[in-house]
Amino acid sequence: MIRRILLVATLMISTISWAQVQTLIDKVNFDSNTILVGMASDYNTDKSFEKYNFYIDNASKIDGIKLNLEHGYELNNKVTDENHFMIYAIKDRKIVDQWLVNPKLYNVFHNGIAYSFDADKLEKIADLYSFKYEIVKEEYKNQKEYAKAQKIKQKDYSIFLAYEPDFLVDGSFEVSFKKDDKFKSATDAEEYLLNLIKLITKKKVFVTYAFNEKNLRDQSQITMVVAGPEEVYKKIKLDNLEKGEWTPEIHEAIYVKKK
């Protein structure tokens, strides 16, 4: 009877202990398209955290290392280190969740909340699933060129994370106004340009004050930057205003690949 009571008590304690364990990845649904990756930042000169690098693309294997990602209590002191380690849940080459680990400070950040965390546990994961990666950057002239390249990139299975370029604008140019009764401020210049642009396109166009040397040195004029589609540059009619050269926007995509 006593033996039976002790057995039940032991099982209850084990259940309670398990229920109290909280891991970093508890709330992530790892399906066949979701991977778990740990990466030391490549821009850090200190490469000591590369020993923690890991890559797991199997849901059952991710579940098997879950306890090594157990975190402790919430911390009031939210201190971080420039040399940190990142853990990502990635699906279809996009980050769905992420955690910032500070191995030297024994903490981890998730959604702005800091928890105690022993990063040495990561080495146990890396022993089984270590990997190396490289970052490749490519430039595209426009969205059409980028879309064409993606047909090839989709077949490159070494790519596990991709950052798409921003195609909000094709490029930009400057317009300079001499200060007078009509153009007393940047607001006057902005309003004038926006009214002209409305006649050319319905696409998004950004008109801003240029924080450049010309505006700093020459207070008798106002230089504005117009960023948007190239048709605005070609079609806009500026009477007695100085229009600068067209500068194409650099559309850069970043690919993170397994070596």
pLDDT band at 95; cut points 50, 70, 90: very high
With contact defined as beta carbons under 8 Å apart, do 157 and 84 qualify?
no
What pLDDT is attached to residue 55? 98
Residues 197 and 236 in one domain: yes
Domain match, 40 and 107 both: yes
User: Which of 80, 106, 131 is the last residue in one of the domains?
Assistant: 131
Q: What pLDDT is attached to residue 11?
A: 36
Instruction: Summarize pLDDT for 165-210 with one digit per residue, the tens.
Output: 989 999 999 999 999 999 999 999 999 999 999 999 999 999 999 9
Report the pLDDT averaged over residues 132-154.
Answer: 94
Between residues 23 and 42, the one the model is more confident about? 23
Strands (E), 51-205: 54-56, 70-71, 85-91, 94-102, 107-110, 113-116, 133-140, 159-163, 171-178
Q: pLDDT band for position 12 (50/70/90)?
A: very low
Strands 221-228 and 247-248: unpaired
Other beta carbons within 10 angstroms of residue 223's beta carbon come to 20
pLDDT of residue 79: 86
DSSP annotation of 233: H
Same domain, 39 and 126: yes
Q: Do residue 161 and residue 187 come from a single domain?
A: no
Whether 18 and 121 map to the same domain: the answer is yes
Asked if the model's pLDDT at residue 42 lies above 90, the reply is no
Range from 24-38, 77-91, 92-106, 230-244 carrying the lowest mean pLDDT: 77-91
More confident residue, 233 or 43: 233
Report the domain count for the chain.
3
For residues 224 and 182, what is the distance between their CA atoms, to the nearest angstrom?
15
Domain that holds residue 45: 13-131
Average pLDDT over residues 46-67: 94
Query: With left for phi above 0 and alpha for psi between -120 and 50, is residue 154 left, alpha or beta?
Result: alpha
Residues 180 and 246 occupy one common structural domain: yes
CATH number of domain containing 192: 3.30.70
Same domain, 106 and 65: yes
Report residue 154's pLDDT band, with 50, 70 and 90 as the boundaries.
very high
H helix or E strand, kind and range, residue 188: helix 186-198
160 shares its domain with 178: no
Question: Residue 165: what residue type?
Answer: P
| Mean pLDDT over the full length of the chain | 90
